[in-house]
Chain A
Amino acid sequence: MGSGGFAPDEPISLFPEPDPFEGPELAPLPQTPKKLTARLSASDYAFRALARGGGVLVLVLMVLVGTFLAYRGVHALRKAGFSFLTTQTWNPNGGGFGIAAVIVGTILIALVAITVAVPLAVGAALYISEYAPRRIQRGLISVVDLMAAIPSVVYGLWGAFFLQWRMVSLSRWINDWFGWIPLFKVDGVTKNYTGPTATFYTSSTFIAGVVVALMVMPIATSIMREAFSQAPPGEREGAYALGATRWGMISAVVIPFGRGAMVGGIMLGLGRALGETIAVVMIISPVFVIQPHILQNGTSSISSLIALQYAESTPFGVSALMAAGLALFALTLIVNFLAAMIVSRSRSGAVSEV
């Protein structure tokens, strides 16, 4: 809890020792611990009731979001059955509908985002905690926090209007040289193709992933930086005293100490990347087939599916969207619980044994 405060109704056990100088005429003191309880005043009871009520209200509200999604989604899930997981098209009113395509798109975008964000986040966190001069350190922490506060629509604008067209040549280059890997294949473009290429490479998983990477990087950076800066100074100086270079010290002390927080920060970033909506919607052009080619135009994600389809949906269509939302909810919840578990289990934040 770590509240540090004195909570009046917690029993305080006292172990009264028998006084050796006391006369024999007194009865021996009881050996059982004496329980002390403070009596709360009426106003304190009212306060506790109010606080408890607030807590319960928030709890109910938060649980309600999950259960409501499940409750409304069940209708569609029951109708679709197991094919909900295997169908690629999204056509709730006509034919089949399923999340096979959108969930693959969601995971691919998140994976691209994490692949780009992790080196940036580790580098930025190490720079701020280990390399930056003291006087600009605080400013840099603010810059990273500011990055986290910039609205996603601004990142989306930047990605859709600026980055997208600058990335075409990089995508083409990757495609030319690594196109033999299925992930980097683009249908319709061969190495000798000389026609206009922009339409093949824009609106792709890769570009959406890079923009999402910029949005999840600050979260991962601030968690990692926190852990790195708490690495015990005794062990740091020990490493230097044994003749380590700065990188030797970092790789022997700081990174092992912050490993749990690194994994946790990456997982939290992954959770955020899975749910990112508006920047993705602004960049991708939705297709409802499984698109494993990350450089190719056209992909989809659960959140963009919801954002694009809610308005035209019939009640059954909304139920189907709820079911898709439930899948996204379950995915982020699992990732986040794993992250919380890893962060709390790691040595990060613990004091040195020396």
Chain B
Amino acid sequence: MTTVDQSTPGTTVPGRLQAGPAPQPRRITAVRTPDVLAVGGALAAALCTTGLLWTEIAPFSGLIGYIVLTWCLFVLFYAVLVSFDQNGPAVRDRVVSVVVHSLGALVILVLGFVIVYTFARGFHAMLHANFYTQDLRTTGPLDPLTKGGVIHAIIGTLIEVGLAMGMSVPLGLLTAVFMNEVPGALARFVRTVVEAMTALPDILAGLFIYATLVISFHRFFGFAAACALAVTTLPIVARAGDVVLRLVPGGLTEASYALGSGQWRTVLFVKLPTARSGLATAVILGTARAIGETSPVLLTAGATYSVNFNPFSGPMMSLPLLAYQSVQSPFPAEITRGFGAACTLLLLVLVLFFIARTIGGRGPGQLTPRQQRHRAMGSVRDLARYERTWTARTAAGYLGEES
């Protein structure tokens, strides 16, 4: 093996790179033409086949059935089209991808449709100003929409939900603080019971208050409804508050203890302010839940057609109850009024929800620009105060003696 074949070089020296266009990075998530064609082709084939089935071969009817069948055929055709140039795992991947995408789209479509449908049906009632300023005391089910309104239900809802949250928020937050700050067997037990109670069917809360307050006082009144709503929302607020308080960074509380403050000062001035945005979100979402609850109110508040400001005497109307009762009437105007009440309710919930999202978008301790300015101004004031004290003491001669 001493002879070396001279005809083949031992090493390969790459030539200089040709100066040309800069290399394009390969796009790995790009939409490719065959994919688009496969989806479009499968969709067209599915639509045509369903149309053929519907009109010619077997006479079916109904939009939902048409859509369901089209979708099933679409998935089938798509799988066949993809299998022409892909192997088994890739075909499965594509089919699952199509199914998951369409399920995601379906969820959003349904939600949008529920909201749009309610607004479309209740729209006519909401156009009239009297809808927001009058009650139904003198309005019969046959009266046109230009007469009567839901102000009594709006006032009733606000009073009932306000009272309910006034009871359940302090107690719920106190329970959340208890579960976080006083660990032990009792706290564990409370947490278990609270978690079990978040699943309490809301009608049972209503039945409980009906059997205690309504039967023993022999009448329906707004405060009973507030109590029922409070029983429903209490576990929700306590549990959400517990979760939020657990997210407060341990370093902050330990720093507070290291500076010598006691437990209640730490909770009051460090933990709760740090978790403020999360707690606000928990409270707002609990309120949205309480506003929409129908069954506890149905059993406890009674129903009325006039404005009632006193939660302790006389029945009190609320928006979900009005919507529920109005649509049972056979008269179109009354049904539209019911949808109008549902729209008002939905608007309240949407507004609360967007407030909650705006506040809840920030993590614990993150400040808005406004809060940051507020803090900066506070520290400027502190500095000015120190300087004033300093000058006053120097003038009085205290510091001269010390130094």
Binding site for B on A (CB under 8 A): 1-8, 40-41, 43-44, 46-48, 50-52, 54-59, 61-65, 68-69, 72, 119-120, 122-124, 126-128, 130-132, 140, 142-147, 149-158, 160-162, 166-170, 173, 214, 217, 221, 244-248, 250, 268, 271-272, 274-278, 282, 303, 306-307, 310, 315, 318, 321-322, 325, 328-329, 332-333, 335-337, 340
Assuming the contacts A149-B349, A153-B324, A217-B107, asked whether A43 and B262 have C-beta atoms less than 8 A apart, the reply is yes
* A-side contacts of B293, CB under 8 Å: 151-152
Q: B104 an interface residue at 8 Å Cβ cutoff?
A: yes
**B320 with A151: CB separation less than 8 A:** yes
Assuming the contacts A44-B264, A58-B234, A69-B208, asked whether A5 and B250 have C-beta atoms less than 8 A apart, the reply is yes
Q: 8 Å CB contacts to A: which residues of B308-347? A: 320, 323-324, 327, 335, 338-339, 342, 345-346
Bound-state Cα–Cα, A142 to B111, Å: 12
**B195 with A149: CB separation less than 8 A:** no
Q: B257 an interface residue at 8 Å Cβ cutoff?
A: yes
**A50 with B174: CB separation less than 8 A:** yes
Q: How many pairs of residues, A versus B, come closer than 8 Å at their CB atoms?
A: 305
Assuming the contacts A246-B97, A277-B201, asked whether A153 and B323 have C-beta atoms less than 8 A apart, the reply is yes
Bound-state Cα–Cα, A265 to B102, Å: 21
Closest chain A CB from B395 CB (angstroms): 37
Bound-state Cα–Cα, A1 to B327, Å: 48
Q: B175 an interface residue at 8 Å Cβ cutoff?
A: yes
**B202 with A248: CB separation less than 8 A:** no
**B62 with A170: CB separation less than 8 A:** yes
Give the most central of A40, A173, A250: most B CB within 10 Å: A173
Closest chain A CB from B310 CB (angstroms): 22
Assuming the contacts A51-B182, A55-B175, asked whether A6 and B62 have C-beta atoms less than 8 A apart, the reply is no
Assuming the contacts A8-B257, A52-B182, asked whether A277 and B203 have C-beta atoms less than 8 A apart, the reply is yes
**A157 with B61: CB separation less than 8 A:** no
**B320 with A153: CB separation less than 8 A:** yes
Closest chain A CB from B4 CB (angstroms): 42
Q: Which residue on chain A has the smallest CB distance to residue B195? A: A340
The A contact surface, by secondary structure, is helix
Which listed residue, B203, B246, B288, B289, touches A306 by the CB 8 Å rule? B203
Q: B189 an interface residue at 8 Å Cβ cutoff?
A: yes
Please name the 4 residue pairs, one residue from A and one from B, whose CB atoms are nearest each other, closest first. A275-B201, A123-B103, A151-B292, A169-B62
**A151 with B349: CB separation less than 8 A:** yes
* B-side contacts of A325, CB under 8 Å: 203-204, 207
* B-side contacts of A275, CB under 8 Å: 199-204
How does the 8 Å CB contact mask read for B86-124 relative to A, with 1 for contact and 0 for none? 000110110011011111101110110111011001000
What is the interface size of chain B, counting residues whose CB is below 8 A from a CB of the partner? 107
Which listed residue, B92, B193, B298, B299, touches A247 by the CB 8 Å rule? B92
* A-side contacts of B246, CB under 8 Å: 2-4
Bound-state Cα–Cα, A336 to B107, Å: 25
Closest chain A CB from B53 CB (angstroms): 12
Q: Which residue on chain A has the smallest CB distance to residue B251? A: A4
**A169 with B178: CB separation less than 8 A:** no
**B107 with A151: CB separation less than 8 A:** no
Q: B197 an interface residue at 8 Å Cβ cutoff?
A: yes
Closest chain B CB from A193 CB (angstroms): 14
Which listed residue, B175, B194, B323, touches A157 by the CB 8 Å rule? B323
Bound-state Cα–Cα, A330 to B312, Å: 33
**A59 with B262: CB separation less than 8 A:** no
**A336 with B61: CB separation less than 8 A:** no
- A sample of 15 cross-chain residue pairs with beta-carbon separation below 8 angstroms, ordered by A number, consists of A1-B187, A5-B180, A5-B181, A5-B248, A6-B257, A55-B178, A65-B205, A65-B208, A127-B100, A154-B118, A166-B64, A170-B62, A277-B295, A307-B203, A328-B204
Q: B254 an interface residue at 8 Å Cβ cutoff?
A: yes
* B-side contacts of A127, CB under 8 Å: 100-101, 103-104
Q: B398 an interface residue at 8 Å Cβ cutoff?
A: no
Which listed residue, A3, A168, A170, touches B181 by the CB 8 Å rule? A3
Q: B238 an interface residue at 8 Å Cβ cutoff?
A: yes
Q: B179 an interface residue at 8 Å Cβ cutoff?
A: yes
**B175 with A150: CB separation less than 8 A:** no
Assuming the contacts A54-B174, A58-B234, asked whether A272 and B103 have C-beta atoms less than 8 A apart, the reply is no
